[in-house]
Structure 1
Amino acid sequence: MIFTETKLKGAYVIDVARIADNRGFFGRSYCTNEFEEYGLNTNIVQTNVSYNKKKGTLRGLHTQNAPFEETKLVRCTRGAIYDVIVDLRPASETYKQWIGAELTADNYRMLYVPEGFAHGFITLEDESDVTYQVTQFYTPQTEQGFRWDDPAFSINWPIQPQIISEKDQHHLLFKNNIAV
């Protein structure tokens, strides 16, 4: 695997190192030893799948609060998404900054999302599937969300959302590390 740290410390774009021949290619999408070499959390306890019918479906921004903060490893297995993470660690030098990465079924790229980040994505194609492995079990009472268009983050989404759940439409705005 090829690990590329983003401008947000601890967050990585991970590409599959491909060994190709006339059949196609072989590569690893997860290896505990390689993740541990980078000091990354390997305690995967749950794998989630998100099926999205239409291009322009937006999910997020989601996070789980302490003591159930989770690390995520996100991959698009069909279609394409623009995956976004926001650093919500108050002591971080990149606090409230965001990055986005295009994850597609064809590029096999993954995004490693550390604890303390909000996460969301928008589908770039119809029929997009997203798989994410997480290090905490889903705990609804610790879930928190922030608006996808929150001016505190100024995320530059590549397309305008067409479908947003009722729940995600009513997330609160973020201001100075508190929902307002």
Structure 2
Amino acid sequence: DAAITENLQREDVRPREEAAAYKRALQSGRHTIESLVGKFGKSEAYIRSRLKLCELIDALAGMLDREDISVGVATEIAKYPADIQQEVYDDHFAEGCYNSWKTARIKEIARRLYERYMTKLESYNFDKTECLSCQHNTANQVLFKDECTGGCAGCQNRECMI
């Protein structure tokens, strides 16, 4: 626990190191996300977004580590399952890809991902009460709720739609 805390308090901690430290703290059973919020003074959304970085496919994780993509771009892509991440990497970030997204801004990448790969909740006619607090709802994954206006709620769990 002390090693995790010390690692997270370094000034030069890299995003994936931070994510791995949060994950280890949770896996230890001594912490919850709420206790990490209190201990490190970060918001729940911030910690959850960092934890998503642990789910990046290797190719994108390497790009983040080399700073070929920003933590914001990596966080947006990490919201999607591995098969979609691989497709996004192959089609838009791999060397020599025809339709590169490497210079696109975070909001533009988020929009492109949402339009191409997201199951948009607004397109479905069912009671979405449970979606309001679901971890798979992208509206619950933004750092600032006011950024999520006008239809950014999408379900990342395709099983919900079956």
- Would you call these one fold, judging by a TM-score over 0.5? no
The structure carrying a bigger strand percent of its residues is 1
The structure carrying a bigger helix percent of its residues is 2
Select the structure with the greater relative contact order (CA < 8 A; seq sep ≥ 6): 1
